[in-house]
């Protein structure tokens, strides 16, 4: 079984967030993200612009929720 991370905008839960802000940006398997970035994905994570680019470039990145 694969555990998927849900990648959201940091402001998605803010008081002024629009409905569009609340839509996840993408999904990636936890194992792939940890290997790619070289750190644990335990708990809430913050990603730099470079981290985000690496995640989106990974072949397992998905823009729709995996089933």
**Predicted local confidence at residue 48, as pLDDT:** 94
> Three-state DSSP class for 60?
coil
Q: How far apart are the first and last CA of the chain?
A: 11
- List per-residue pLDDT tens for the chain, 67 residues long: 899 999 999 889 899 999 999 999 999 999 999 999 999 999 989 999 999 999 999 999 999 999 8
């Amino acid at each position: 079984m694969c555990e998927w991370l849900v990648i959201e905008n940091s402001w998605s839960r803010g008081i002024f967030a629009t409905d569009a802000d609340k839509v996840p940006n993408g999904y990636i398997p936890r194992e792939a993200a940890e290997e790619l970035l070289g750190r644990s994905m335990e708990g809430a994570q913050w990603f730099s612009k470079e981290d985000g680019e690496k995640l989106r470039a990974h072949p397992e990145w998905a823009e729709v929720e995996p089933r």
